[in-house]
């Protein structure tokens, strides 16, 4: 009896735990140490011999239980050659290896997802949507309990959070540990010298008191900034849960760093050049700790994205650049600060009990207005690294195979 593609799909494992649609390969040709695979719609993929060998599941390449590679560089040798290459009636690739006579079957849907570039770092994550205050006056809102109970709501929230860099949860319970539930749903907390969950507590009566380790714990305004530029990799995302707010003012302010960087690049290219290439040493001066890192204020990463804005002036300590650049570096920094504070880019919104403001700490410049009144204000915060948020998004945006 002829095997159907459904039968074949269930018999041939992919080198990961995702479910791949069965997309039959129609032909294969070989040149040197490469195989060239072709699908009926003119999609093709070239695969190097050693890459195919190390992705041979169940034939010494990929371990079936962990789906991790077990074929190490010490195994590479010139004897690893194709003995026989065929495409089955169902469209799977089968290779018989010359060195040891082992057979390996390759899922054509898995191979095709590589041909379609769905294996890249950016795949299955939302497009970045830059914004200014013109088109985005307040963060998109989601129900805090619903995102924990409903996968569809969680997916919408996480995609918005990555795309816009900012999203707000509402109706969160009056529970000092609620952020642990967010962490359980998304990924582990990134702990820092402030701890895992930290408090931002201010009592207006104590304003100006020296009994605090941070300006955040006073009622003073906080200008647009990103947290912890003193780290090699500053925390990716920040979640701030408002438990109590009896004060007046203290609105949250947010600016999309992408929009500011794009404007700088277009309108002030010299400032852009200085901000992206001249390093500063960021130094945490707290007693008993000595975190420091040197980097530019706008750190461009791969894929052309300004992944890290290092913009927290209280810990920007020393110029780490040629002396001749220092005056221009100060001037460029002021330009960035002015743009980040400009109402063209910056939005502001109130912080109310039950709100959890979630944002990309390396992209969004956040701050707050000063506050007054007779009461107190209590926020709790956590960081969760970008890796965890992106992993959560990829998992939610794909179907994971049930083992």
Chain contacts with Fe ion (rule: CB under 5 A)? 227
User: Which residue(s) pair with 381 in the sheet?
Assistant: 198, 240
Q: Within 10 Å of residue 17's Cβ, how many Cβ atoms?
A: 12
Among residues 227 and 299, whose Cβ is nearest to Fe ion?
227
- Whether the Cβ atoms of residue 380 and residue 216 lie closer than 8 Å to each other: no
Cβ of residue 218: shortest distance to Fe ion, in angstroms? Answer: 13
Cβ of residue 196: shortest distance to Fe ion, in angstroms? Answer: 17
Among residues 90 and 227, whose Cβ is nearest to Fe ion?
227
Cβ of residue 314: shortest distance to Fe ion, in angstroms? Answer: 10
Cβ of residue 258: shortest distance to Fe ion, in angstroms? Answer: 18
Q: Tell me which residue has its CB nearest to Fe ion.
A: 227
Among residues 227 and 271, whose Cβ is nearest to Fe ion?
227
Among residues 110 and 198, whose Cβ is nearest to Fe ion?
198
**Angle, nearest 10°, between helix axes 257-267 and 326-341?**
130
Among residues 71 and 383, whose Cβ is nearest to Fe ion?
383
Cβ of residue 215: shortest distance to Fe ion, in angstroms? Answer: 9
Cβ of residue 200: shortest distance to Fe ion, in angstroms? Answer: 8
Among residues 82 and 313, whose Cβ is nearest to Fe ion?
313
Cβ of residue 194: shortest distance to Fe ion, in angstroms? Answer: 10
**Angle, nearest 10°, between helix axes 386-397 and 151-164?**
130
- Residue 4's contacts (CB-CB under 8 Å, 6 or more residues apart) are 90
Among residues 54 and 227, whose Cβ is nearest to Fe ion?
227
């Amino acid at each position: 009896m002829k095997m159907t593609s459904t039968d074949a799909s269930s018999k041939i494992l992919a080198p990961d735990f995702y479910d791949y649609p069965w997309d039959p390969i129609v032909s294969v040709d070989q040149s040197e140490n490469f195989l060239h695979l072709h699908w009926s719609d003119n999609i093709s993929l070239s695969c190097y011999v050693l890459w195919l060998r190390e992705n041979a599941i169940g034939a010494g390449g990929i371990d079936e239980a962990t789906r991790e590679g077990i074929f190490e560089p010490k195994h590479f040798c010139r004897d690893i050659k194709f003995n026989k290459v065929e495409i089955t009636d169902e469209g799977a690739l089968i290779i018989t290896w010359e060195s040891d006579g082992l057979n390996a079957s390759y899922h054509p849907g898995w191979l095709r997802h590589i041909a379609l570039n769905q294996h890249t770092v950016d795949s299955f994550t939302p497009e970045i949507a830059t914004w200014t205050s013109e088109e985005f006056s307040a963060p998109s809102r989601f129900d805090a309990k619903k995102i924990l109970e409903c996968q569809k709501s969680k997916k919408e929230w996480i995609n918005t959070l990555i795309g816009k860099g900012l999203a707000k949860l509402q109706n969160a319970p009056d529970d000092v540990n609620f952020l642990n539930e967010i962490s359980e749903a998304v990924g582990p907390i990134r702990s820092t010298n402030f701890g895992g969950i930290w408090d931002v507590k201010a009592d207006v009566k104590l304003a100006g008191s020296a009994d605090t380790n941070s300006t955040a714990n006073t009622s003073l305004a906080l200008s647009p900034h990103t947290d912890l530029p003193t780290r090699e990799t500053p925390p990716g995302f920040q979640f701030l849960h408002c438990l109590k707010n009896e004060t007046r003012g203290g609105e949250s302010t947010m600016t999309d760093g992408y929009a500011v960087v794009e404007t700088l690049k277009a309108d002030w290219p010299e400032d852009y050049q200085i901000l992206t290439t001249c390093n500063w040493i960021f130094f945490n001066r707290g007693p008993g700790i000595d975190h420091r890192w040197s980097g530019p204020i706008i750190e461009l990463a791969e894929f052309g994205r300004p992944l890290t804005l290092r913009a927290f002036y209280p810990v920007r300590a020393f110029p780490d650049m040629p002396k001749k650049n220092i005056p221009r570096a100060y001037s460029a920094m002021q330009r960035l600060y002015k743009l980040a504070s400009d109402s063209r880019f910056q939005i502001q919104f109130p912080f109310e009990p039950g709100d959890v403001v979630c944002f990309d700490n390396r992209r969004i410049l956040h701050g707050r207005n000063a506050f007054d009144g007779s009461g107190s204000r209590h926020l709790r915060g956590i960081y969760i690294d970008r890796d965890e948020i992106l992993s959560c998004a990829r998992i939610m945006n794909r179907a994971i195979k049930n083992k």
